[in-house]
Amino acid sequence: MKRKYFGTDGIRGTVGEAPITPDFVLKLGYAAGKVLARVGKGAERRTVLIGKDTRISGYMLESALEAGLCAAGVDVLLVGPMPTPAVAYLTRALRLSAGIVISASHNPYADNGIKFFSGAGAKLADKVESAIETELARPLKCSTSAQLGKVRRIDDAAGRYIEFCKSTFPAHLDLRGLRLVVDSAHGATYHIAAHVFHELGADVVAIGNHPDGFNINAGFGATSPRALQDAVKRERADLGIALDGDGDRLVMVDAKGEVYDGDQLLYVIASYRMRQRRQLRGGVVGTLMTNLGMEHALARLKIPFARAKVGDRYVLEMMQKRGWVLGGENSGHIICLDQHTTGDGLVSALQVLGALRGDKTTLAKAAAPVKLYPQLLINVRTRRDFDFSANRGVRQAVAQAEAALGADGRVLLRASGTEPVIRVMVEGKKRPQVKTWADAIAAAVRKAAG
């Protein structure tokens, strides 16, 4: 059954526009609470943890979710601003019924969204999301006063998560002698990220760590690495680490200011584990967006590689199906299933740093085997129901590009699962040719979308 509200990463949109309104989110909390009461085991009272990023709208949506869950008879734990992967970890560590994150990840502050984790710290199964949508269509019937949920705050949540992140770094190594610039995108890791690296011995310069409710992802973080590049060179740092607004993406910068994306960083982790015989357990899962250069580099090491649909939930599904522990996206979502149940920017950074320290090498040398093909991604904003696949002009532009690029190039068009845009990706050996065809296809999509 096609879901009305849930996309590839929860429910997301512009605040004040359906479905990101306080009345809907209250009903969503109630519906989720009723479903959780049915799918849980035993007769114990259900408890759900709520975290959020630093958007101004988080206060409003947190209150609405809290009210809906309590009306359904579910207890609530509040942790305030907390990275998405921290909510997944705390939900699992505290043996809770579910975790909810109020965040729109890398989107601008005017957007927000609701993400759910199961009690095991994993994304909700499709059937559970469908059950919540079914419950949303039913009337809200508040529990009696004796059955209402209670709310309390966990004051040491940040400290718990910091210790968890540190535990994923090799115990025989440390970060002494490293000067790092850490960019939190004015997001949910603003009070956490620098502490993780400092407590492992690094000299840390923190940027993007002063959220005001409106500046999340604005000119900082994994989607805007220029500020990190400038800071690394200005501070004469060894490396830069950039996270996104909710802390599940990672981009890194070397001492020369060169940017390394998720494909390159995933290769560094995988190749180190292969050499150390450290539970690579099969191969690596990427996506349809993974650069051909990454695939070729893994092939030279005889590391199996598979492509999933774009979206970390699809990467995770394929990893679980194949029994592999490493996967990720070029956007910086990296999943290390032997360390965490979901993608985690801080844990991923520690895996890269562990590889560099273990091999006594630099990021530039470790990632050098990945010769990235020029790749251009253009986001074309459209209405949410626009179907590019049915348009003759778009199909013709794609066919012409594919014929021109030949076997050494790729074209990929897909509708975003998190915002109303069509993503146009063109990849090939020659950058001018890639740009020409990406622009042409994007223009065809704009024309078709009106």
H runs (alpha helix) in 323-430: 345-359, 363-367, 392-405
Domain boundary among 238, 257, 276: 257
Active site residues: 105
Q: Tell me: do 204 and 284 sit in the same domain.
A: no
Has residue 83 been placed in a domain?
yes
Same domain, 73 and 150: yes
Domain count, the chain: 4
Cα dihedral across residues 85, 89, 92, 94: positive or negative: negative
Tokens 């115990």, residue located:
171
DSSP string across 179-245: EEEEE-TTSTTTTTHHHHHHHTT-EEEEES----SS-TTSS-STT-THHHHHHHHHTT-SEEEEE-T
- CATH code, 79: 3.40.120.10
Residue 140 lies in a domain: yes
Same domain, 286 and 416: no
Task: Please tell me whether residues 138 and 185 are part of one structural domain.
Answer: no
- Same domain, residue pair 275 and 394: no
Domain contains 380: yes
Domain boundary among 257, 283, 310: 257
Residue 372 pLDDT:
93
Q: What is the pTM of this model?
A: 0.91
The answer to whether position 161 is within a domain reads no
Residue at 428 is within a domain = yes
pLDDT at position 168: 98
Q: Write down the pLDDT at residue 2.
A: 67
Q: Are residues 266 and 209 in the same domain?
A: no
Tell me the pLDDT of the chain (450 aa) as tens digits. 567 899 878 999 999 999 999 999 999 999 999 998 887 555 578 999 999 999 999 999 999 999 999 999 999 999 999 999 999 999 999 999 999 999 999 999 999 999 999 999 999 888 999 999 999 999 999 999 999 999 999 999 999 999 999 999 999 999 999 999 999 999 999 999 999 999 999 999 999 999 999 999 999 999 999 999 999 999 999 999 999 999 999 999 999 999 999 999 999 999 999 988 766 889 999 999 999 999 999 999 999 999 999 888 899 999 999 999 999 999 999 999 999 999 999 999 999 999 999 999 999 999 999 999 999 999 999 887 788 888 899 999 999 999 999 888 899 998 887 778 899 999 998 999 999 999 999 999 999 987
165 found inside a domain: no
Residues 214 and 308 in one domain: no
Expressed as residue numbers, the domain containing 436 is 375-449
Q: Do 316 and 229 have their domain in common? A: no
pLDDT of residue 43: 56
The residue among 257, 287, 309 that closes a domain is 257
What pLDDT, on the 0 to 100 scale, is given for residue 15? Answer: 98
**Closest CA relative to residue 244, chosen from 291, 302, 312:** 312
Nearest to 227 by CA among 259, 196, 198, 250: 259
